[in-house]
Structure 1
Amino acid sequence: MTIYLLRRLFLLGTVLLGLSIFAFSLGYLFPGDPLQNFSGLRYLDDSTREQLTLAYRLDGSYLQQYLAFIQRLWHGDWGLSLASQQPLLTEIRQVLPATLELTSYALLVSFFVGIPLGILAAIKPDGVIGKAISAIAITGYSLPIFWWGLLLIMVFAVGLGWFPSGGRLGVLYEIPPQTGFMLVDILLSDVSYRQAALQDALRHLLLPTLALATFPTTVMIRFVRDAMLDVWEQSYIKTAKAKGLSRLQVLYRHGLRNALLPVIRQIGLQFSTLITLAMLTEVIFSWPGIGRWLIDSIYQRNFPAIQAGLMIISVLVITVNMLTEILHTFFNPLARKR
């Protein structure tokens, strides 16, 4: 296990090294002045340009420039946004919690809904319930998220008026930010309208969470169903049935424990998918997350923000995938043996 962890950490370091080289090269691949792309300053006079050239080692080799780039990242100097002239790291800290909140709730919905439905579909796959769940899963898997999100807004926000069409919280409520997670901040606040603000935040959260959770939920249903059917044909399951155990006992004692082990690995895969789909969801529902911030930066040709956003999202996805892979190996004896 120690050798496996060392190999995984070495792989993580190699991937992050390649990512940092790619991010550094974007300063030269983007149109415009490389010094402006690295610093984010709109206007550079001669003295400022000379100082930044020395600080960024632009008068040296590419290796010296890359080492200076890594040093700036390590010390939190990610440059300024061309649009707002604010530090990029400050803006990322403001928008990243909103994306993590939305993806976390969508991931929880996919697990709490997808796993039971997948198990139910695997119990009698040729029955009416099994076929109905499989049909729903295929339908949800085929829905484009931009069309599905707009349909939810048209029906439940515009048509019925049950939920708001966008945002995280109504303009009537002001919650002091503490963690960046809206529901947590509301619970930690001591305002008099905390209960009403919590209900309003939940109403704002429901539609984007439902839209974002649809695809991973259908994937989880199909994955758990196939895993259960595969485990159900193993010899130890047949032995347990021969001993006289009921179907429910076999399912609980032997089937679930082995079929749900690969679900740990699915956390990383679904998180990667959710981060990608969250960009579209945040634009549709005006959710102030890093996906919407990154797409706005692309429209604004805000090259330093694009560079920083790609680095943050890539590091987040790579780290989560690596951690789930390690957890799966830790809990799965067969994976450790391999």
Structure 2
Amino acid sequence: MIVFLLRRLFLLGTVLFGLSVFAFSLGYLFPGDPLQNFSGMRYIDSTLREQLILQYRLDQPYSAQYLAFLGRILQGDWGLSFASQQPLLKEIWQVLPATLELTAYALLLSFMLGVPLGILAAIKPEGTIGKSISGIALVGYSLPIFWWALLLIMFFSVTLGWLPSGGRLGVLYEVPTITGFMLLDILLSDVSYQHAALWDALRHLTLPTLVLATYPTTVMIRFVRDAMLDVWEQNYIKTAKAKGLNRVQVLYRHGLRNALLPVIRQIGLQFSALITLAMLTEVIFSWPGIGRWLIDSIYQRNFPAIQAGLMIISTLVITINMLTEILHTLFNPLARKY
């Protein structure tokens, strides 16, 4: 197990090294002055230019420039945004919690719906319930996320008026930022309208969560169904049936525990997909997350922000996938064996 962990940590370091080299090269691949791309400053006079060249070591070989780039990243000096001329790391910490909050609730919803429905579809796969669940999962998997989002907005927001069509909180409520996670900030605040603000935040969170959770839920249903059917054909399941255990006992004692082990790894894979889908979802619902911030940066040709967004999102996805891989190996003896 120790060897496995060392190998995974080495792989994580190798991937992060490749990511940092690519992010550094973007300073030269983007149009314009590399000094502006690295620093994010719009206007640089001759005196400041000489100072920055020495600081960023642009007069030295690329290897020395890369080491200086890594040093600035580790120190938190990610440059300035072309659009706001504010530190990029500060802007990222302002928008990242909104994306993590939306992604976490979507992943939780997909797990709570996908696992029971997948198990139900696997109990009698040729029955009416099993075929209906599989059909719904296939339809949800094929839905374009932008069309599905607009359809829900037209029905629940425009037609019925039940849910807001965008934003994170109504303009009537002002909640102090403590952690950046809206629901947690509301619970930690001592404002007089705490319950009303919490209800309003939940209403704003409903549609984006439903849209973002659609794809991973359908994948989870199909994955759990296939895993259950595969476990159902194992010899120890047949032995348990021969001992006289009923279907529920066999499912709970033997089938469910073994079928859900691969789900741990699937959670990491779905997190990667959710981060990608969150960019489109945040634009549609005006959700102030890092996905919308990054797309706005692309439109504004804000090259330092694109570079920083690429590094933070890629590092997050790589780390989560590696952690779920390690957890899967810890809980699965067969994975440790191989």
With the shorter chain as reference, the TM-score category is over 0.9
> 1:186 — aligned with what?
186
Task: Work out the CA distance in 2 between the residues paired with 1:92 and 1:31.
Answer: 23
> 1:266 — aligned with what?
266
Task: Work out the CA distance in 2 between the residues paired with 1:234 and 1:162.
Answer: 48
- Report the alpha carbon displacement of residue 155 of structure 1 after superposing the two structures with TM: 0.8
- Report the alpha carbon displacement of residue 91 of structure 1 after superposing the two structures with TM: 0.2
How do residues 1-338 of structure 1 correspond to structure 2 at under 5 angstroms?
1-338=1-338
- Report the alpha carbon displacement of residue 182 of structure 1 after superposing the two structures with TM: 0.2
- Report the alpha carbon displacement of residue 6 of structure 1 after superposing the two structures with TM: 0.2
Amino acid at match of 1:84: S
**SS across alignment from 1:98:** helix
Deviations 1:70-125 (A, max 9, x none): 00000000000000000000000000000000000000000000000000000000
Task: Work out the CA distance in 1 between the residues paired with 2:302 and 2:151.
Answer: 31
- Report the alpha carbon displacement of residue 62 of structure 1 after superposing the two structures with TM: 0.1
TM-score for both structures, normalised by structure 2: 1.00
**SS across alignment from 2:281:** helix
Q: Percent identity?
A: 83
Which ranges of structure 1 fall in alignment gaps of 5 or more residues?
A: none
Task: Work out the CA distance in 2 between the residues paired with 1:225 and 1:143.
Answer: 20
- Report the alpha carbon displacement of residue 49 of structure 1 after superposing the two structures with TM: 0.5
TM-score for both structures, normalised by structure 1: 1.00
The alignment's C-alpha RMSD in Å is 0.3
- Report the alpha carbon displacement of residue 159 of structure 1 after superposing the two structures with TM: 1.1
Task: Work out the CA distance in 2 between the residues paired with 1:5 and 1:335.
Answer: 13
Task: Work out the CA distance in 1 between the residues paired with 2:87 and 2:160.
Answer: 42
Aligned length: 338
Task: Work out the CA distance in 2 between the residues paired with 1:280 and 1:241.
Answer: 48
Task: Work out the CA distance in 1 between the residues paired with 2:104 and 2:284.
Answer: 18
Task: Work out the CA distance in 2 between the residues paired with 1:43 and 1:88.
Answer: 17
**SS across alignment from 2:164:** coil
Amino acid at match of 1:288: P
Task: Work out the CA distance in 1 between the residues paired with 2:304 and 2:159.
Answer: 41
Task: Work out the CA distance in 1 between the residues paired with 2:328 and 2:17.
Answer: 25
**SS across alignment from 1:38:** helix
Deviations 1:129-160 (A, max 9, x none): 00000000000000010111111111111111
Task: Work out the CA distance in 1 between the residues paired with 2:265 and 2:92.
Answer: 28
